Amino acid sequence: MGPAETVMTSFLDRCGGIAVIDGGLATELERYGADLNDPLWSAKCLLTSPHLIRTVHLDYLEAGADIIITASYQATIQGFENKGYSLEESENLLRKSVEIACEARELYYRRCHEASTGHNSDNRVLKQRQILVAASVGSYGAYLADGSEYSGDYGDAMDLEFLKNFHRRRVQVLADSGPDLIAFETVPNKLEAQAFTQLLEEEEINIPAWLSFNSKDGVNMVSGDSLPDCVAVAESSNKIIAVGINCTPPRFIRDLILSIKKVTSKPILIYPNSGESYDADRKEWVQKTGVSDEDFVSYVNKWCEVGASLVGGCCRTTPNTIQAIYRTLSRRPVTPS
């Protein structure tokens, strides 16, 4: 086990074996009044309302999250430049996403200290603990904002060098902004997984990363690529410290964990969406197609029993979902390491 990989194993030990990842960002920003009808999606709030992002991060920490993911999933230099921002301004917005998450963590630690000196914590989780900030890097499909991160279809002309060059500067800037790790999220195909792992080596990125894929059928990637083949890409990199699945319906997760376990010894992370269907043409979630928080959380122990070490939520999950996960996990017996 390399030094990067010991970062995650040590962290998981301190969490009692299983860590809680935060939940959906966009849904919560909209609940606070943000208008996200924009190709930048939640990254738009880096421009218009950074205080709301900090508030949502804080909500998740107070729900029991051990890892918060920055609002940079759809934040790309190319996307900002398309909006008329300079390269310098675009890079500063990427840095800002990490700074906001770090600010939320510091504010949370202050609240924990105040609670320990007699302030009432009501229903919030105010517990001094190690919290990681993960800098989100969405796929090329997320930048396209046409739903192709849910299909993995980038066209026949797409190649490895194009994807590496598309992501290169963004990954460098985020890595240098002070996060604890990089979260490569909603990766739809093997080619982009290869691009990310090669970038970590080529640019000598000095912080670890995780790779999280998405599946539409519980067997293969959304692109049709073999999940074991994609996980093998992560397994071959000592800079990738966890691998798993996000933005995938909960009903598919257990079988996907079992498939991942066959090809990797790395910790497995799971943060599904609520199960709702996304209409890429209308750019909206189809109502009443997901599962309730109670049903979502009912899966959690099953996922942990078959091998998940990091559990949270993705699109359409909320701080209530995460707090329910936290409460569920806190009732689990701690397995001696």
The binding site consists of: 247, 314-315
| Known binding-site residue numbers for Zn(2+) | 247, 314-315
Contact assessment for residue 269 and residue 244, using Cβ atoms and an 8 Å cutoff: yes
* Tokens read off for 172: 């460098």
CA–CA separation, 284 and 282 (whole Å): 6
| Residues 228, 221: Cα–Cα separation, whole Å | 9
Between CA 188 and CA 184 the distance in angstroms is: 11
In the chain, the N- to C-terminal Cα span, in Å, equals: 16
Name the region of 239 (left: φ>0; alpha: ψ -120 to 50; beta: rest): alpha
Taking a C-beta distance cutoff of 8 angstroms, is the pair 220, 227 a contact?
yes
β-strands 308-311, 209-213: how paired?
unpaired
Contact 75, 83 (CB under 8 A): no
DSSP E strands in 83-197: the ranges are 132-137, 181-187
Token pair recorded at residue 261? 């376990």
DSSP 8-class letter at 53 = H
Query: Which residues, in sequence order, are CB contacts of 335 under 8 Å at separation 6+?
Result: 17
Strand 19-20 with 240-246, pairing: unpaired
Paired with 285 in beta bridges are 278
